[in-house]
Amino acid sequence: MASRPLPGLRWPLPQGEWPWLCCELGVWQLRGRAEEVQALARVDVVLDHSDRLYVRLRWPRGPGLRSWLWPAQCHVWLTRAQLPSQWSLLRAQLWPGRRRHWLGAP
């Protein structure tokens, strides 16, 4: 049974220089106000509540040992109240790459 690709998603972020978290065809990106794009290596769900997700956004690894051991990352809260109509789509986009993580995990 073939799975249908999910439609693109554009989710507002509460703080920072990147106001949008986007997913198109399974590729996660941050988009700026001037439509500049920053690709993300991974998006991990750290905490999952019914109406809130605490998500870790990881940038691609750069050269050097430090970047390999501790890649650049940030954490954000995503809430159902931001876009209630898109909440189920967001959870569906995050589900395929779901892993168990804990606070402080590398």
Reported pTM: 0.70
What is the arithmetic mean of pLDDT over 63-85? Answer: 80
Q: Specify the pLDDT at position 4.
A: 58
Q: Which domain holds residue 86?
A: 9-94
Residues 6+ apart with CB under 8 A from 35: none
What local confidence, expressed as pLDDT, does residue 67 receive?
A: 64
**Number of domains forming the structure of the chain:** 1
Rounded Cα–Cα distance for residues 61 and 68 (Å): 6
The answer to whether residue 55 is domain-embedded is yes
Residue 42 forms part of a structural domain = yes
Q: Render pLDDT for 23-65 as a digit per residue (tens, 0 to 9).
A: 888 788 988 888 788 888 888 888 888 888 888 888 887 777 7
In-domain check, residue 2: no
The distance from CA 52 to its chain's CA centroid, rounded to whole angstroms, is 13
| CA–CA gap between residue 69 and residue 71 (Å, rounded) | 6
* Structural domain includes residue 80: yes
